[in-house]
Amino acid sequence: MLSLLALGLFLASAQNSVSAQAVPQTIQLQSRVAPVSATLRRRALNPVTVPLADFFLGTDLQWFGNKVTFSNSPAHFSGNMSVGTPPQTVSVVFDTGSSTLEFASTLCGAPCDNQVKFNSAKSSTFVDGGTTSSITFSTGVGVDPVVGANYRLTLRSGTDTVAIGNLKAPATSLFLITNQTAKFGIDPFSGIQGMSARAQGIFAALISQGLPSLFSLFLTPLSVGNAEMTVGGIDTTKFTGPLTFASLASTSAAWTLSSPQLTVNGVTNSVLQARRSIIFDSGTSNILFPTATANAMYALISSDITPFAAEPGAYGIACNKISTLPAVIDITFTSQSGSPFNLTIPSSELNVGPFASNPAICQTLINAFDGLSLVGGSLLKHYYSVWDVGNQRLGFAAI
């Protein structure tokens, strides 16, 4: 999910406090985590692997985590991400399109009843920040376009101890959700852990304790399972072939790469050959492009794909026509070595399912959003991706 604030300034958060006397803890990981490479040997913390659940609503386009798995030889044990003293568990979507931690709290009434709520009154280490604010997201859960402020959270600032397993960050900046729009009501997770290109929150705290400043995503369809995020490392068992890295296109907190060209079914045109900055957002399902770009792409797929008036920004086609349409989308980038490479969205992603208001019409992959170019789960699930904060780059390997 991408905050509107992320389009300019990301939501500011207080500097995290990590005790100078804190002793880094080493977690023995299960075997599926990549071996420590020679370049990463001098560190205090090893990577951790977070299993991710597929939030399946007819399509495999969004994932969230509710457990962190460690190995405790010879068996292994699981622990939830926790907040407070004593710890209270929270489940979150790990979102590269935002930068802060926010989750449902007992300050939120009926709108948050579908989520587990954090009770700040039961935490001896919680400190109320005294500030109320709101955040509006320009992309949301699922494939529907965002209309107005239908993805909006009302927040109360604070700090508390945040932990992943035995790794703790005291006085970490966070936000309690005190109200939310109905669109968030279907979420099975309690909140959002931002994983922007600027390390914040618990990720920043772990980096200060010696964890390498990167994380990796392995997003898989529900039928495959075992999706995961590795914090602080790369799981080389999840892909074959080399990783290709590209430098971030800006110094903002957004994960943005510059692209000189889009092609559809091997064909391009003057609109698609314009250079554009594209945001990579693990919390968004579809891909978003300005209206002119979306229209130019659909023109190369089928003239039968048209805007769906009931949901501004969405497009659709008769469901009985969509399965035979070729719709291979290639997005070109430039690697750190100077060579062009493509990231490909296959034709199988074109159909994201029928519209609830008209089941005979199926929604298509690209949403129109003027002023924004963004790719989400429909691309990311076809690649193992490495999000390297320290070197300000993104890496991809086919899976």
Residues in the chain: 399
Q: Which of 60, 95, 144, 388 is catalytic?
A: 95
Q: For 167, how many CA atoms within 13 A lie in the half-sphere containing its CB?
A: 29
Could you give the CA distance from residue 231 to residue 217 in angstroms, rounded to a whole number? 9
Q: How many other β-carbons are positioned within 10 Å of the β-carbon of residue 242? A: 10
Place of tokens 């936000």: 175
Strands 287-289 vs 366-368: parallel, antiparallel or unpaired:
parallel
Give the DSSP H or E segment for 321: helix 319-322
Q: Is 35 helix (H, G, I), strand (E, B) or coil?
A: coil
Give catalytic status of residue 95 as yes or no.
yes
Q: Which of 54, 160, 235, 281 is catalytic?
A: 281
CB 337 within 8 A of CB 242: no
Q: Which of 232, 179, 176 is nearest to 203 (CA)?
A: 232
CB 190 within 8 A of CB 102: no
Could you give the CA distance from residue 215 to residue 233 in angstroms, rounded to a whole number? 6
**Which distant-in-sequence residues (6+ apart) come within 8 Å of 303 by Cβ?**
none
Give catalytic status of residue 54 as yes or no.
no
CB 6 within 8 A of CB 100: no
Sort 37 into a burial class: Cβ within 10 Å, 0-12 / 13-18 / 19+: exposed
Catalytic center residues: 95, 281
